[in-house]
Amino acid sequence: MSFNKYISEYLSYLKVNLKYSPNTIISYENDLKQFDEFLAKTFSNEFSLDDIELSLLKSFVADLFDEDYSKRSISRKISLLKSFFKFLAKKKYIKKNIASALIFPKLDKKLPSYLTESETEKLFNSKESEERKPLDAAILELFYSTGIRLSELINLKISNVNFANKTIKVFGKGSKERIVPFGKNAEEAINNYLKIRTVPAEGNRDILFLTQSGNKLYPMQVNRITKKSLEGVTELKKKSPHVLRHTFASHLLDKGADIRAVKDLLGHESLSTTQVYTHISPEKLKKVYKQAHPRG
């Protein structure tokens, strides 16, 4: 069996048995053809699967780095090689999966997208914000005031909003409970929304945010509200609820909040997850520059 036949059999397995999408199959086929071309250059004569050793796979990965492929692309190709050789081992075409020893490159952590303070000011204090629907205003204010996730907002219950203490009880990932405070602007926005909120006859009576027909909001609807509101204030490519969560965390840390407190507010399991927000914002850089530079 030629190497191309092994590739064809593997792709057929993904398509028929695992029901992979046509686009994924095409992508995998292109990656494996690239590996096949590398083997053709390496072996001038005929070769068998037994000729392919771990050192050869490492050379292929090294070539990808030399050709300036991104770490993410290289990781994808390594993952495919691991899966492909696992398939070959399972079919008894090779004795063991030599690709299992390949190591993924450490991916660079992307800094989270967040609004600057001036962009946030524009979001909440502009002519457009004054004309905003009560539902939209309450959603945006609560996102920025608490940093909660989209799923947490959609499932938030009125009974879990404590107006006396200005706190909400949130059930995050793994149903882990946490208490998060909210500010006076969010309180006002929520109260304005409650005045016009549709009260369903049954079912969702305790869910805070509802559609006009009394149904629970769906993620796409909240994403659309957020995107529309952010389009006029920022050039960020991402305009999702998560941007407001990132903004909440970034602004707190910029103002000197303890990172452990921010971790608890966000509902993170580990401090390392929260540390992605400890970047230096442009506002902070300007402030340090003005304070420290002789001609600042």
Per-residue HEC secondary structure of 259-296 comes to: HHHHHHHHCCCCHHHHHHHCCCCHHHHHHHHHHHCCCC
Strands annotated E in 16-115: none
Domain with CATH 1.10.443.10 in the chain: 117-292
Catalytic residue (one of 242, 246, 251, 263): 242
| pLDDT tens sequence across 102-143 | 999 887 667 788 999 999 999 999 888 888 999 999 999 999
- How many whole angstroms separate alpha carbon 192 and alpha carbon 142? 13
**Whether pLDDT at 76 is above 90:** yes
Beta strand ranges found along the chain (DSSP E): 161-162, 167-171, 177-181
- Is 242 annotated as catalytic? yes
For residue range 186-233, what is the model confidence (pLDDT) as tens digits? 999 999 999 999 887 777 889 999 998 888 899 999 999 999 999 989
| Identity at 260, one-letter amino acid code | R
Q: What is the CATH architecture of 117-292? A: Orthogonal Bundle (1.10)
**What's the pLDDT score for residue 291?**
67
Is 224 annotated as catalytic?
Answer: no
251 is catalytic: no
Residue of 82, 132, 245, 246 marked active site = 245
Joined together, the tokens standing for residue 42 give 């390496």
Hey, is 163 helix, strand or coil?
A: coil
Catalytic residue among 82, 251, 263, 268: 268
Of 284 and 262, the structure prediction assigns the larger pLDDT to: 262
Are 241 and 123 in contact by the 8 Å Cβ rule? The answer is no
* pLDDT mean across residues, the chain: 89
Query: Which residue(s) pair with 169 in the sheet?
Result: 179
What tokens does 6 get?
Answer: 């092994």
Q: Which residue out of 173, 205, 238, 260 is catalytically annotated?
A: 173
pLDDT reported for residue 251: 92
Per-state percent for the chain, helix, strand, coil, to nearest 5: 60, 5, 35
Strand blocks (E) in 73-195: 161-162, 167-171, 177-181
Which of 20-24, 48-52, 110-114, 163-167 shows the lowest per-residue confidence on average (mean pLDDT)? Answer: 110-114
Name the strand (E) or helix (H) holding 55: helix 54-66
Compute the CA torsion angle 242, 243, 248, 250 (nearest 10 deg). Answer: 120
Q: Active site includes 173?
A: yes
Residues 227, 234, 274: CA angle, nearest 5 degrees: 80
CB 193 within 8 A of CB 161: no
Q: Annotated catalytic, 277?
A: yes
263: which 2 tokens? Answer: 């971790």
Rounded to 5°, angle at Cα 73 from 67 and 74: 65
**Per-residue pLDDT for 64 more than 60?**
yes
Half-sphere exposure of residue 170: CA atoms within 13 angstroms, side-chain side: 25
Half-sphere exposure of 124 (CA within 13 A, CB side): 19
Report how far apart, in Å, the C-alpha atoms of 65 and of each of 69, 77, 85, 225 are: 6, 12, 21, 41
Residue 200 pLDDT: 79
Architecture of domain 3-101: Orthogonal Bundle (1.10)
Asked whether residue 57 carries a pLDDT value surpassing 70, the answer given is yes
pTM of the predicted model, to two decimals? 0.62
Give, as one character, the DSSP assignment of residue 174. Answer: G
Please give the single-letter amino acid code of residue 228.
Answer: K
Lowest mean pLDDT among 6-15, 88-97, 105-114: 105-114
Match 């793994």 to its residue by tokens: 174
- Active-site option among 82, 149, 197, 246: 149
In the chain, ranges of CATH 1.10.150.130 domains: 3-101
Q: Among 55, 62, 64, 102, which residue's Cα sits nearest to residue 81?
A: 102
User: Which strands make up the sheet holding 167-171, listed edge to edge?
Assistant: 161-162, 167-171, 177-181
